[in-house]
Amino acid sequence: MILFTLTIVFAFFIPCKAFSSNVDDNDYNDINTLQVCVCVPYWQCKEDFSGLIEEGVGIVDIRSLLNSNQSEPPCTGDFDVCCKIECGKRRSIPKAENKNIGFRIIGADNDATFGEFPWMLGVLQDKTYKCGASLIHPQVAVTAAHCVGGRRPYKVRAGEWNWLVKDEPLPHQDRITKKVVIHPQYNSGTLSNDIALLVLREPFKLMENVGVICLPPKHLHLESQNCVATGWGKNSHKKGSYQTTLKKVTLPLVPRSICLRSLQEAMLGPSFILHNSFLCAGGVGNKDTCKGDGGSPLICPVEGDMGKYQQVGIVSWGLTCGVINTPGVYVNVLVFRDWIDNVMTGEGFDTNVYKYY
């Protein structure tokens, strides 16, 4: 990723006292069919139980939000409540930030802070990094179809920041895929419909550095705005090196007509047609996603909800990296909302986890 330095800010958090840091398999008995929530002290949850309060949330335990007519409460602590998971919230971010995108670009470096993008995942196979992905449910990730394939399972890592640092403030978590669901109309030649869901054997434990991203409603009108891409990909097109620390880059969404013309003029010729499963972003000099960023999320601010983000794109392909007037091409997540919902429902997962509307 061609991608500015931020001061890392940490706070002290109160863990849910009723549970140990070890995950009990019984914690997840009903996670597939019931609404997912987290057990926290009542003062860490909003009054209507719709989400966590920004300050004061540390390690929390996933539970299922039981129906009111059931006798056993989901949380056993004297002061605990089952608080709905709130998607799309960035973490550990300095207060003084740009109002439009949520952080300041300083100099030529662009490291993300620890836990800033808690939904960011790494996909590995045979101890080798393959692609990025994002968490849309504690037990489901979304990535690019071109990143995954075959019958061998993948390891999915959440909560990672710097791959070489072993003593980060909170540990990363690894899960193994149970099923890889590739879009049935994916074309490996043209990369159209380049999307896949990774169903995990066990859910991730939600922590300050592990969370879920929101997905936009399928009828959302994407206006020209600045969005953010993250990843560990290369810092230049040909001789660049993969990054050990998670990077972020601010990229403008590019109107479809302008993107098509730019790609035609750059290399692809006048007969090239941009498939409707794609959208474009970037075209800014020295700022772009690059090789190794495939499958990583492109997120945009949710209008009217400061600090909340939604994933509109997935890194798919590009002609080069960081060249002016040559945008990168991303999977248009809005096009696949029905497909994602149908797969999630078919697997028994709650689709409300990634909805904010």
DSSP string across 220-254 = ----S-EEEEEE--BSSSSS--B-SB-EEEEEEEE
Please report the pLDDT score of residue 29 as a whole number. Answer: 35
- 159 phi-psi bin (left φ>0, alpha ψ -120 to 50, beta other): left
Q: Which residues contact 234 (CB under 8 A, 6 or more apart)?
A: 1, 2, 240, 241, 242, 243, 290, 291, 292, 293, 321
In one-letter notation, the amino acid at residue 170 is L
pLDDT in tens, the chain (357 residues): 654 333 333 333 333 323 233 334 334 334 444 456 777 777 777 766 566 665 544 444 444 443 333 445 567 777 777 777 789 988 654 433 333 333 322 224 588 889 999 999 999 999 889 999 999 999 999 999 999 988 899 999 999 988 888 888 889 999 999 999 999 999 999 999 999 999 999 999 988 899 999 999 999 998 889 999 999 876 555 555 677 889 998 899 999 999 999 999 998 999 999 999 999 999 887 776 776 678 999 999 999 888 899 999 999 988 877 778 889 999 999 999 999 999 999 999 999 999 998
Please report the pLDDT score of residue 2 as a whole number. Answer: 54
pLDDT tens digits, residue range 121-180?
999 999 889 999 999 999 999 999 999 988 899 999 999 988 888 888 889 999 999 999
Please report the pLDDT score of residue 215 as a whole number. Answer: 98
Please report the pLDDT score of residue 238 as a whole number. Answer: 53
Can you tell me the distance from the alpha carbon of 17 to that of 6, in angstroms, rounded to the nearest whole number? Answer: 32
Can you tell me the distance from the alpha carbon of 282 to that of 288, in angstroms, rounded to the nearest whole number? Answer: 6
Q: What's the gap between Cα 237 and its chain centre? A: 24
Contact 226, 100 (CB under 8 A): yes
Tokens of 107: 């100099």
Can you tell me the distance from the alpha carbon of 95 to that of 124, in angstroms, rounded to the nearest whole number? Answer: 34
Give, rounded to a whole angstrom, the gap between the first and last alpha carbons of the chain: 31
In one-letter notation, the amino acid at residue 199 is V
As a three-state string, the secondary structure of 52-89 is ECCCCECCCEEEEECCCCCCCCCCCCCCEEEEECCCCE
Can you tell me the distance from the alpha carbon of 67 to that of 264, in angstroms, rounded to the nearest whole number? Answer: 55
Domains, the chain, ranges and CATH? Answer: 25-84 (no CATH), 120-213+337-354 (2.40.10.10), 226-334 (2.40.10.10)
Question: What distances in angstroms separate CA 70 from CA 64, 65, 66, 74, 342, one per listed residue?
Answer: 12, 10, 7, 10, 28
What is the C-alpha radius of gyration for the chain, rounded to an integer number of angstroms?
Answer: 20
| pTM of the predicted protein model | 0.78
Can you tell me the distance from the alpha carbon of 85 to that of 57, in angstroms, rounded to the nearest whole number? Answer: 12
Please report the pLDDT score of residue 321 as a whole number. Answer: 76
Please report the pLDDT score of residue 169 as a whole number. Answer: 87
